[in-house]
Every structure is written in structure tokens, then in C-alpha cells.
Amino acid sequence: MSDAPTAKGRATRARIVTGAAELLREQGVALTTLDDIRGRTGTSKSQLFHYFPEGKDELLLAVAQFEADRVLEEQQPHLGRLDSWESWHQWRDMVVERYERQGDHCPLGSLFLQVGRSTPGARAIVTELMRQWQRQLARGMRALQANGLVGPVLDVDRTAAALLAGIQGGVTIMMATGDSTHLKAALDTGIEHLRATTRSSDARLEDVRRSVL
């Protein structure tokens, strides 16, 4: 990918990617041409190929990265401060609202169908998105532990991975059926599991106390 070392160059490249993302969301990958993108972003053909010398596939990968970043950005500020039950429920509602608003069209999925999900660049984008998402969920669970709201026995990394898998499964079903029931169930069950670890820990502590007495 062509570098954009100057502030003006970075701004131009960002304008192209943002404009392309908006256009692709509106009319889909298959119907969008480079000429459409040039018209939307006000760039010449030489400018477009300066920043994306490999053409449309390279630009689509850049847009895929933009969309992946947006997945996490749209969950803020709640995803970044999951340190109370209130914040977890606020995050839950935000996730449901985001995907209900998105409907049955996934911009990121459409882009990967075009460039090939197995290509190194596309796979790296998905892998990093899932890594960051899981890491932020795990950080939130550790914050609950630090605040005494979740038991210390919780396997944080495994639980975060399971919750993320549940979200992805719920989104997939919602996109196929138009029904967010499964997504809500995955989120609600995941949060209830976190709450249950506190009760389990309290019960174990009580058992220990009784055995000592």
C-alpha cells in the first residue's frame, strides 16, 4: 500500500477511504466502480492510483480496515469502561442497536466476499478485529473482578472468547432471519454467566467458613 507521509497526503487518502466506504454502504460492492468513487471523493484517476496503485482490491482492503475499526468505535464509550453492571448493560444495548440498525447488510462481510476472505490482508484485518474486541471484553471482566463484582475463579480469556463467539453467531442468525433474538440471548446469557460467578464464589467462601467453624 502506498505511503502517505505528509499531513495533506494522509488527509487525501482518508478522504478517499471514507468516501468509498459511504458509497459502498449505499450501493454495494458489486455496483460500485472506481469512477463512482472518484466522483464521490473528488479525486483524479492519478490521485486514486497514487494512494492505491493496485487498484480496486487494494482500496477495498483499506475500506475493510476502516469498517473493522468502526465496529469497535461504535461500541464506545461503553466497551472501553466495562467496570460495572450498568456499563455492561449499556454496552449490550448499544451492540443490539448497532446490529439491528445495520440490518441484513454487513459492509465488512461484503468487502471480504469481493477481495477474498482468505487473502492475507483480509484475514489479518479480521484476526486483529477479533483480537482487539476480545481483549476489551476481557479487560472489562477483569475490571469487574477488581471491583469485587465477579469471582476470582472466572477464566477471563476463555469467557471473553465465548461471549464474542456468541455475538458473532447471533449476528449471523440475525442477518439471515432479520430477528435479533439470538443476539440478545447471547449477550444476556454471557452477562448472566458473569453474575453467576460471583454467587458461586460467595457460596464457596461460605462453605469454607462453615468447615472452619
pLDDT band of residue 137 (cuts 50, 70, 90) is very high
Pairwise pLDDT comparison (165 vs 31), residue with the higher score: 165
pTM of the complete model: 0.84
- Residue 122 to residues 46, 116, 117, 126, 130, Cα–Cα distance (Å): 25, 7, 6, 6, 13
Helix (H/G/I), strand (E/B), else coil: 197: helix
pLDDT of 206 reads 42
Asked if 194 contacts 82 with a C-beta cutoff of 8 angstroms, the reply is no
Tell me which of 45-49, 118-122, 191-195 is least confident. 118-122
H helices of 28-55, in order, are 34-41, 45-51
91-124: pLDDT as tens digits: 999 999 999 998 888 888 888 877 776 677 888 9
The pLDDT tens digits of the residues spanning 33-42 come to 999 999 999 9
* Sign of the alpha-carbon torsion through 34, 35, 39, 43: positive
**CA 124 to centroid of chain Cα atoms:** 14
Contact at 8 Å (CB) between 37 and 60? no
Residue 198 in this model has a pLDDT that exceeds 70: yes
Q: Report the CATH fold assignment for 79-212.
A: Tetracycline Repressor; domain 2 (1.10.357)
